[in-house]
Chains A and B, each alone.
Chain A
């Protein structure tokens, strides 16, 4: 197919599509994994069932966004796909084992024989949610510092792992505030209150470390007029954390008012953090080594994908909205009939 966009614009378009898919994944599977992380915070089996039921109809589709993000990197920036994934070989493998066992534990816990099997699969579900969340955070930490060697970089990656796990647990708790009621909802509010501070610390750590690690990023943020133009980003983040803290102090509200708001706030925090990272690294796809223009596939191949994506993505969004409407409201027990 003849390209109708210039190669430069095509590369940027695909970088934007990939970033959007990755953000969708982090938000959507973030709450799934978060619910898994929180599973053993309650001892009551009925509450655990309800927590798992709340993500039941969604997790398959949520995980598909990861396949789309990685797939877009694979097809649009094959050189970057090879470089990033071979550099992160071991954490990727561990994350995959985590995602594999987390996904199947979901099925097996419901179809297992007795309570002992169920407890085992619950442990696998929670443990593997931790594994997947932590390895994703660790990879973020390695990526942010450009895969730098040394103990300092490893320590930072560990901090990022904890930060991302906190962020997932936080959005998971906010999801539960929206989707559950009664005692479980009250517990979720308490979890969210504590986790919010972990999230704030994680965002702060990454925001301080990235400019210190790279002069280019430092310049990008702190030069005039960028400093003023970008000021809304950290200010909005600060305001959002403050607002969420105030809101969570009073939840649950009478009549279950504003039950969606914490989740929306969490999504907002994810978006702001993501925007900050995107600004720091654009146009690099492998930090300081490879730009999106150097890594891109041939324009004719990108064009044929883009045409397909323009037709199909709206359809995907439409039926995703349909599924969310069908399974809206408070979580109920999962039944096949």
Chain B
């Protein structure tokens, strides 16, 4: 394979592995703060039980996020030196602000949050929990600002082939930024909602029915019931925004080849880019026009308007269906679970098993969504400014291939170890609660 393809696969592998863990920590930080505040207010041990279990998951996820993030900071230079040479004046300050306002904050207060419970006053421990959650969210903010700028660049001018900033306000608040940020934060919330609900359901089914497990299960279900329908609305708004600024991406997502009115909503098909048509298409008439234009006769742009400069269709098309499909499942599970909790106070067995199956659904949907938006941007790295091919460095394909294999082995191993450790913690959680002398200790004043 050529160096460009390998460099792209390598970067995609690294960033896919990396995003799994921030997706957990961004929302889990706030959930931990919620547990801590509930405990502070009620002095009810169930919240502290939930906190103690999930803070371990947080610590593990955070460590994996940090170390895979360090890899990213190097790969900008090793894989894409052209990126910083061309748009470094914009990307640089945004990354610098992420490091300065987020990374140190979360890393330093994480130590206090994890190990400081007996060493600092209660308010300081709560403050540390807040600052860690705030730090992870700030980090998401800055990186999504940069990513959104790459999709819909604004506030700059080109001088001698190099981007120079003219308006920082416009650079930070690009047209796609609010939608992308909201979409990602809710995605993190949903990932954590189903992680909480799924792991707790698993413990519940194994007979581990302590008050902390029930509290986490309930929290996860309520989050899912609120966030999943919200995500449907926010995702739709994000799609409309993309239609305005990156119509070729939407055309690939919908699998629509010709610009025309009354475009159907393709539920399933096999897009054939060579023949420029869909095979085995199953579609709802007028659906796409209705969703995208709010009018059954609305004109929807097609891929043939962007010949030679639209993204590869099949991966965007399939990834979009995976994301939306899981989103629908999430809405179903979230609402059904909330209904049973509300009416009966407990979940039927079948639903508990369903939640266990959905434990990592948020990861799959988040990755699929990122594939839609990032592959959908190709062939551009920065829309209209820099192509991915122009950003590649001089490293030979052999070196990239070797390190790619090395990263893949490490990442596969770590992913297995991570999931295995989560379930091991869940099994141990029960033991810990029933050991005599392990009774909850009141918090120091």
Contact = CB atoms under 8 A, between A and B. Distances in A.
Nearest to B85: A78
A100 B104 contact: no
B269 interface: no
Interface string A80-114: 01111110011011001101111110111001110
Contacts of B109: 319, 323
Contacts of A75: 84, 88, 91-93, 95-96
Contact of A79 (B56, B85, B108): B85
B230 interface: no
Interface in B34-76: 52, 55-56, 59-60, 62-64, 66-71, 73-74, 76
A111 B403 contact: no
B414 interface: yes
A86 B64 contact: no
A239 B96 CA distance: 39
A301 B78 contact: no
Interface in B71-116: 71, 73-74, 76-78, 81-82, 84-85, 88-93, 95-97, 99-101, 103-105, 107-112, 114-116
B135 to A, nearest CB: 11
Contacts of A99: 67, 70
B340 interface: no
A292 B89 CA distance: 16
Interface residues of A, number: 64
Contact of B88 (A78, A104, A309, A313): A78
A312 B394 contact: no
Given A85-B77, A113-B424, A326-B112, A93 B406 contact: yes
A309 B100 contact: yes
A86 B103 CA distance: 25
B421 A111 contact: yes
A219 interface: no
A64 B318 CA distance: 37
A235 interface: no
A86 B77 contact: yes
Contacts of A334: 114-115
Contacts of B99: 64, 67-68, 71
Interface stretch (A52-60, A226-234, A262-270): A52-60
A103 B67 contact: yes
A298 B91 CA distance: 12
B393 A82 contact: yes
A300 interface: yes
B12 interface: no
Contacts of B343: none
A61 B111 CA distance: 8
Interface stretch (B117-125, B197-205, B244-252, B351-359): B117-125
A46 interface: no
Nearest to A333: B115
Contacts of B164: 298, 300-301
Contact of B421 (A71, A83, A90, A108): A108
Contacts of B60: 104, 107-108, 111
A35 to B, nearest CB: 16
B115 A57 contact: yes
Given A97-B407, A301-B90, A313 B114 contact: no
B435 interface: no
Given A60-B107, A111-B424, A304 B406 contact: no
A294 B104 CA distance: 30
Chain A contact residues: helix, strand, loop or mixed:
helix
B93 A304 contact: yes
Nearest to A320: B108
Given A60-B62, A96-B71, A97-B410, A76 B110 contact: no
A96 B406 CA distance: 11
A61 B132 CA distance: 12
B306 interface: no
Contacts of B101: 308, 312
Contact of B117 (A63, A68, A312, A337): A337
B399 interface: yes
B403 A89 contact: yes
B395 interface: yes
B73 A74 contact: yes
B441 interface: yes
Given A90-B399, A97-B406, A300 B165 contact: yes
Nearest to A321: B108
Nearest to B403: A93
Contacts of A305: 92-93, 96-97
Given A75-B92, A78-B85, A335-B115, A67 B103 contact: yes
B439 to A, nearest CB: 11
Interface string B294-322: 00000000000000000000000000000
B6 to A, nearest CB: 12
A294 B91 CA distance: 19
B425 A319 contact: no
5 contacts: A70-B73, A75-B93, A308-B97, A323-B108, A323-B112
Given A107-B421, A319-B105, A336-B55, 12 more contacts: A56-B114, A64-B103, A68-B103, A74-B84, A90-B403, A104-B417, A298-B165, A301-B89, A304-B93, A304-B168, A323-B111, A337-B441
